[in-house]
């Protein structure tokens, strides 16, 4: 029988099918950060349980970590307590822990792939919706709640209803200045933030195949913003080349054996998906969002839509959103003055994103009124920035590179966008208050963020390329 | 927490907005707690819609309107999108809601509600619209959510719809059982699986 990539991995992990209920699925990797795990550990203690397979669980703080002075204790006592709790829990339950200042620390969705912890064919979960990122390596990876984190701690299994499958094919070649981030924002604008709810998405087609590993991670990261349970890309030479030699990746004979298996991980030619969607790469422009969900995006040179034809509830939600952003229907955003730029997050905190940003700002200067936060996704990314000399280019242009963490993506540390200020952000969500109470977020690619950082206004990055 | 669910009759709180994300249900700055205190999360449910920036009550927000109360939250489609934070479900439960009615839920949040004995009830768009109309016409409108029969009834119009829930989860909700109890009890199956799994 013909199977999809998703079917192959899912089926290989089914422990049992609960009668008239969910599937009991075996999990190869559980990643834990400090925000969504403490209550799971507390409940494990209350029930007198131990972690069933501690060697499959990796912990690291990322949400609360400051992006400067990480060698000193965290100033915010509540953040500190949460980070300390993860360290203690990891110790008590015998789990691997990459603490602050450990060179293996960083945003969990950046560290997993770059250390070779995330591998093709795996099932991976984390109490974090952007766990979908890891699907880029050809894994079934999805975000879960804290009760589910506890399920995996207790049994290395999770109970899940099997999602439906969707294939999104993007034909053709991406144009100048169009990145994986733009592809994702384009798909969300077309499909809405609930367009893929209930589905596990496989991305396919020439435009996807030609993405680098970093680009694929960005794309799969944003699957959840269309509501998808997860997103994935069949592993190929790009994937194998990326994985080979990484710290936790298999070596020698084990590598050869793994590679042979990974090469079978593709949807069969006659596999049937529950839904098929196709887009043309040539239709995709550099994108920017104007509203308060990631589906409210448009090509950077377009105007905000008007409310004609919307239902009452749709109109109420749309107007509430524009009111929050201080925009009007029909308005164009090019030339609009902005206050902050944020480069980073599990979406765009990888080396390729810093290369892209640097390519635009090279030889230019940061606009005087713009505050820019450049936050690498991990220490490994930060070291790579230095070894490639990107730090020099960025510093010459007036930018400072901070220490790794989730930072202003959700503002659980000190990196908060002030109320009413506009931020062009490479993160994943423009929800009300996401980057700090009252903050106004415009999601875009690293190229578009860089163009805004040097001009001080929303600018089509192609003009600076 | 593990409050058994059977039949609930209650008035409703209407929130006719679409795409209500979990950052609105509970903003990130309230996620720093290391315990699961329902009162804390309930007190901060919809924090930034419920309070003005100066900390005073936002009188325009429905939770601050004495006309509307009850154990059922009725919301526009795609409720609970965004972050996987279970704190959102804790906030909803902590505030005292036992049912959320919408025409569409985000996947992770829906699971989180079920794992906290809050019942997400998916209704048709037309049922939802009529229910909003009924509540606005009469805030005392009662709704009956019958889990054993898997039906929801709008008593104002006498319109009833059935809703879906898998038999396993229904059994859990009705009997106060959770998935961890289930999983821990079948470890032998897991160990057998591991013998053939790399």
In this model, does residue B1 exceed pLDDT 80? no
Is A281 within the bounds of a domain?
no
Do A328 and A216 share a domain, yes or no? no
Do A344 and A251 share a domain, yes or no? no
When CB atoms are compared, the residue of A20, A63, A155 closest to B184 is A155
Characterize the bridge pairing of strands A23-26 and A157-160. Answer: antiparallel
B138 touches chain A (CB under 8 A): no
Do A304 and A242 share a domain, yes or no? no
Domain span including residue A316: 287-464
Mutate to test the interface with B, among A147, A151, A221 (most CBs of B within 10 A): A147
DSSP letters for chain B = ------EEEE-EEEE--SS-BHHHHS-GGGTT-SS--HHHHHHTTTHHHHB-TTS-B-TTSGGG-TT--SSEEEE-SSBTBS---THHHHHHHHHT--EEEES-B-HHHHHHHHTTT-EEEE--HHHHHHHHHHHHH-TT--EEEETTTTEEEETTTTEEEE----HHHHHHHHHT--HHHHHHTTHHHHHHHHHH--
A19 touches chain B (CB under 8 A): yes
pLDDT value at residue A324: 98
B108 touches chain A (CB under 8 A): yes
Do A303 and A444 share a domain, yes or no? yes
Mutate to test the interface with B, among A14, A50, A194, A292 (most CBs of B within 10 A): A194
Confidence of residue B3 (pLDDT cuts 50, 70, 90): confident
Is A232 within the bounds of a domain?
yes
When CB atoms are compared, the residue of A36, A63, A433 closest to B23 is A433
| pLDDT one-digit tens code per residue, B8-55 | 999 999 999 999 999 999 999 999 999 999 899 999 999 999 999 999
| Interchain CB distance below 8 Å, A38 and B166 | no
Mutate to test the interface with A, among B83, B168, B170, B181 (most CBs of A within 10 A): B83
Do A371 and A228 share a domain, yes or no? no
A314 touches chain B (CB under 8 A): yes
Is A335 within the bounds of a domain?
yes
- Paired residues of A231 in beta bridges: A201
Sign of CA dihedral A42, A43, A44, A49: positive
Q: Looking at CA atoms only, how far is residue B10 from chain A in angstroms?
A: 24
Distance between CA atoms of residues B5 and B100, nearest Å: 13
Is A112 within the bounds of a domain?
yes
Whether A341 and A442 have beta carbons less than 8 Å apart is answered as no
Q: Which residues of chain A have pLDDT under 70?
A: none
Which residues in B lie closer than 8 A to residue A16 (C-beta atoms)? 186, 189
pLDDT value at residue B9: 98
What are the Cα distances from residue B177, in Å, to A95, A142, A171, B19? Answer: 28, 24, 48, 30
Distance between CA atoms of residues B69 and B14, nearest Å: 9
Report all structural domains of chain B as residue ranges with CATH numbers, in order of start. 7-196 (3.20.19.10)
Is A417 within the bounds of a domain?
yes
Which residues in B lie closer than 8 A to residue A32 (C-beta atoms)? none
B102 touches chain A (CB under 8 A): no
B136 touches chain A (CB under 8 A): no
Is A92 within the bounds of a domain?
yes
Q: Which residues are within 8 A (CB) of A225 and not within 5 positions of it... i.e. 6 or more apart?
A: A184, A188, A193, A294, A295, A428, A429, B82
Which residues in B lie closer than 8 A to residue A42 (C-beta atoms)? 34-36
In this model, does residue B106 exceed pLDDT 70? yes
Question: Looking at the whole model, is its pTM more than 0.90?
Answer: yes
Is A48 within the bounds of a domain?
yes
The count of structural domains within chain A is: 2
Whether A128 and B148 have beta carbons less than 8 Å apart is answered as no
When CB atoms are compared, the residue of A39, A154, A197 closest to B35 is A39
CB pairs A-B closer than 8 Å: 192
Do A460 and A399 share a domain, yes or no? yes
Do A313 and A456 share a domain, yes or no? yes
Last residue of a domain, one of A223, A253, A275: A275
A151 touches chain B (CB under 8 A): yes
pLDDT value at residue A313: 86
Do A244 and A304 share a domain, yes or no? no
When CB atoms are compared, the residue of A22, A410, A437 closest to B166 is A22
B59 touches chain A (CB under 8 A): no
Task: Find the residue in B nearest to A317 (Cα).
Answer: B17
Q: Which of B28, B87, B88, B82 is nearest to A413 (CA)?
A: B28
In this model, does residue B95 exceed pLDDT 80? yes
A101: left (phi over 0), alpha (psi -120 to 50) or beta: left
pLDDT value at residue B98: 98
Do A292 and A249 share a domain, yes or no? no
Q: Looking at CA atoms only, how far is residue A195 from chain B in angstroms?
A: 10
| Interchain CB distance below 8 Å, A19 and B85 | no
Q: Mean pLDDT of all residues in chain B?
A: 96
Do A213 and A257 share a domain, yes or no? yes
A435 touches chain B (CB under 8 A): no
When CB atoms are compared, the residue of B32, B183, B189 closest to A79 is B32
Do A61 and A171 share a domain, yes or no? yes
Last residue of a domain, one of A241, A275, A309: A275
pLDDT value at residue B2: 72
């Amino acid at each position: 029988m013909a199977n999809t990539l998703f079917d192959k991995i899912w089926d290989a992990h089914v422990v049992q099918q609960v009668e008239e209920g969910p599937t009991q699925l075996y999990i190869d990797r559980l990643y834990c950060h400090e925000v969504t795990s403490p209550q799971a550990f507390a409940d494990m203690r209350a029930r007198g349980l131990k972690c069933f397979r501690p060697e499959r669980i990796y912990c690291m703080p990322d949400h609360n970590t400051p992006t400067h002075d990480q060698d000193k204790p965290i100033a915010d006592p509540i953040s500190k307590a949460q980070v300390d709790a993860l360290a203690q829990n990891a110790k008590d339950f015998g789990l691997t822990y990459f603490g602050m200042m450990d060179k293996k620390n960083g945003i969990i969705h950046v560290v997993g792939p770059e250390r070779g912890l995330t591998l093709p064919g795996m099932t991976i979960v984390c109490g974090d919706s952007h766990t979908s990122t890891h699907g880029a390596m050809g894994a079934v990876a999805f975000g879960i709640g804290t009760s589910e984190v506890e399920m995996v701690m207790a049994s290395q299994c999770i109970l899940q209803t099997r999602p439906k499958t969707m294939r999104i094919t993007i034909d053709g070649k991406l144009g100048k200045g169009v990145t994986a981030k733009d592809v994702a924002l384009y798909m969300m604008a077309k499909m809405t933030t609930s367009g893929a709810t209930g589905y596990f998405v496989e991305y396919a087609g020439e435009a996807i195949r030609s993405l680098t590993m970093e680009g694929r991670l960005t794309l799969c990261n944003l699957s959840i913003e269309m509501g998808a349970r997860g997103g994935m890309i069949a592993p190929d030479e790009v994937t194998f080349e990326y994985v080979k030699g990484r710290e936790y990746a298999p070596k020698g004979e084990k590598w050869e054996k793994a590679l042979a298996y990974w090469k079978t991980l593709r949807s069969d030619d006659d596999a049937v998906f529950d839904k098929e969607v196709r887009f043309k790469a040539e239709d995709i422009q550099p994108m920017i969002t104007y509203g308060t969900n990631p589906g409210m995006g448009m090509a950077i040179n377009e105007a905000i839509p008007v409310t004609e034809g919307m239902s009452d509830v749709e109109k109420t939600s749309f107007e509430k959103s524009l009111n929050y952003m201080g925009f009007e229907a029909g308005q164009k955003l090019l030339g609009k003055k902005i206050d902050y730029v944020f480069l980073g997050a599990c979406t765009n905190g990888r080396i390729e994103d810093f290369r892209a940003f640097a390519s635009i700002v090279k030889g230019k200067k940061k606009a005087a009124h713009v505050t820019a936060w450049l936050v690498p996704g991990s220490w490994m990314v930060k070291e790579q920035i230095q070894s490639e000399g990107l730090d020099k280019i960025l510093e010459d242009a007036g930018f400072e590179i901070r220490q790794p963490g989730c930072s202003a993506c959700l503002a659980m540390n000190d990196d908060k966008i002030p109320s009413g200020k506009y931020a062009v952000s490479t993160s994943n969500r423009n929800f009300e208050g996401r980057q700090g109470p009252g903050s106004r977020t415009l999601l875009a690619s690293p190229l578009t963020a860089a163009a805004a950082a040097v001009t001080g206004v929303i600018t089509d990055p192609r003009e600076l390329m | 927490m593990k409050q058994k669910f059977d039949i609930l009759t209650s008035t409703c709180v209407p929130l006719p907005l679409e795409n209500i994300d979990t950052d609105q249900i509970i903003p990130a700055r309230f996620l720093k707690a290391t315990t699961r205190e329902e009162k804390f999360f309930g007190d901060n449910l919809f924090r930034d819609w419920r309070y003005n920036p100066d900390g005073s009550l936002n009188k325009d927000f429905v939770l601050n309107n004495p006309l509307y109360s009850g154990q059922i939250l009725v919301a526009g489609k795609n409720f609970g999108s965004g972050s996987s934070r279970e704190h959102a479900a804790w906030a909803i439960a902590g505030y005292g809601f036992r049912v959320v009615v919408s025409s569409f839920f985000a996947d992770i949040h829906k699971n989180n509600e079920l794992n906290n004995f809050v019942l997400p009830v998916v209704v048709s768009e037309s049922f939802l619209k009529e229910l909003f109309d009924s509540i606005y016409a009469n805030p005392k409108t009662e709704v009956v959510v019958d889990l054993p029969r898997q039906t929801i009834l709008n008593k104002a119009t006498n319109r009833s719809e059935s809703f879906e829930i898998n038999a396993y989860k229904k059994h859990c909700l009705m009997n106060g059982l959770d998935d961890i109890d289930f999983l821990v009890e079948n470890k032998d199956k897991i160990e057998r699986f591991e013998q053939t799994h790399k």
